[in-house]
Structure 1
Amino acid sequence: MKHDDRTHEVAGHNGEVQAESTFAALAAPLVDEALSHNASIHADASPESLHQLRVALRRLRSLWWAYRPLLDRPENTRQRSLYRFLADAAGKTRDWDILLELLAGERNEESEAGALGAAPACLLEARERALATSRETLVNADIRNVLHGALASTSKELNTAPERHALQKFAAKRVHVAEKSLRKRMRKASRAKRADYELLHDVRKAGKKVRYLIELFGPVLDDVGHDHTLKRLKKLQQCFGELNDVTASIALLRENTNLFSDETEAHAALALLKERRKACRREAVQLLREA
Structure 2
Amino acid sequence: MQVRRVSQDREIELKLLLDEGGAKQLRTHPALKKVAHKTARQVSIYYDTPDGALRNAGFSLRVRESKGRFLQTVKQQGADSAGMFDRPEWEEEVESAEPDLDRAARTPLKEHLGKRTRKRLKPLIRSEMERTTWNVSRDGAAIELVLDEGTVTGGKSSERIAEVELELKSGDARDLIEFARQLGQRAPLRLGVLTKAERGYALADGAVGRVVKAERIDLTPAMSAAEAFAAIAASCLRQFRLNETIVERTQDPSALHQARVAMRRLRSAFTFFRPIIGDQEFLTLREEVRWFTDQLGDARNLDVLLKRIPGTQGADGTEKELRRTLEAARERAYASVLETLASARLRRLMLDLVGWIGTGKWREAEMAQRPIGEFGRAQLDKRWRKVKKGGKHLAKLEIETLHRLRIEVKKLRYAVEFLASLEAREDALTRRKAFSAALEDMQEHLGELNDIETARELLQSLLAGHPKADEMLRSASRFIDKAAQKEDPVAGAEQAYGRLAEAGPFWR
TM over 0.5: yes
Q: Secondary structure at the match of 1:120?
A: helix
2:349 aligned partner, one-letter code? V
Q: How many residues align?
A: 276
CA distance in structure 2 between the partners assigned to 1:183 and 1:268 by the alignment: 37
Structure 1's 189 and 7: CA in aligned 2 closer, same or farther, altered over 3 A? farther
- RMSD over aligned Cα atoms: 2.9
For structure 1, which segment, 120-129 or 66-75, has the greater mean C-alpha deviation from structure 2 after superposition?
A: 66-75
Q: Larger relative contact order (C-alpha < 8 A, sep ≥ 6)?
A: 1
1:157-236 pair list within 5 angstroms: 157-163=361-367, 164-192=369-397, 196-221=398-423, 224=428, 225-236=431-442
**Residue 34 of structure 1 corresponds to which residue in structure 2?**
240
Q: CA deviation at 1:172?
A: 1.5
**Residue 121 of structure 1 corresponds to which residue in structure 2?**
324
CA distance in structure 1 between the partners assigned to 2:233 and 2:362 by the alignment: 13
Q: CA deviation at 1:27?
A: 1.6
Q: CA deviation at 1:219?
A: 0.9
When Rg is computed on C-alpha atoms for both structures, the one with the higher figure is: 2
Q: CA deviation at 1:54?
A: 0.8
Query: Deviations 1:85-105 (Å, cap 9, x if unpaired)?
Result: 212111111111111111128
For structure 1, which segment, 145-154 or 270-279, has the greater mean C-alpha deviation from structure 2 after superposition?
A: 270-279
CA distance in structure 2 between the partners assigned to 1:246 and 1:222 by the alignment: 39
For structure 1, which segment, 274-283 or 34-43, has the greater mean C-alpha deviation from structure 2 after superposition?
A: 274-283
Q: Which runs of 5+ in 1 are unaligned?
A: none
Q: CA deviation at 1:129?
A: 1.0
**Residue 4 of structure 2 corresponds to which residue in structure 1?**
6
For structure 1, which segment, 68-77 or 126-135, has the greater mean C-alpha deviation from structure 2 after superposition?
A: 68-77
**Residue 259 of structure 2 corresponds to which residue in structure 1?**
53
2:226 aligned partner, one-letter code? E
- TM-score of the superposed pair, with normalisation by structure 2: 0.49
Q: CA deviation at 1:63?
A: 1.1
**Residue 41 of structure 2 corresponds to which residue in structure 1?**
none
Q: CA deviation at 1:37?
A: 1.7
CA distance in structure 2 between the partners assigned to 1:168 and 1:68 by the alignment: 16
CA distance in structure 2 between the partners assigned to 1:210 and 1:222 by the alignment: 19
* C-alpha contact 1:171 1:217 (8 A) present in aligned 2: yes
CA distance in structure 1 between the partners assigned to 2:251 and 2:494 by the alignment: 36
**Residue 44 of structure 1 corresponds to which residue in structure 2?**
250
Q: CA deviation at 1:51?
A: 0.6
- TM-score of the superposed pair, with normalisation by structure 1: 0.82
Find 1:90's aligned residue among 286, 296, 308.
296
Decide which structure has greater strand share.
2
Structure 1's 30 and 97: CA in aligned 2 closer, same or farther, altered over 3 A? same
Taking every aligned residue pair, what percent have the same amino acid on both sides? 24
State whether structure 2 residue 350 is matched by structure 1 residue 147. yes
Query: Deviations 1:47-67 (Å, cap 9, x if unpaired)?
Result: 111111110001111112121
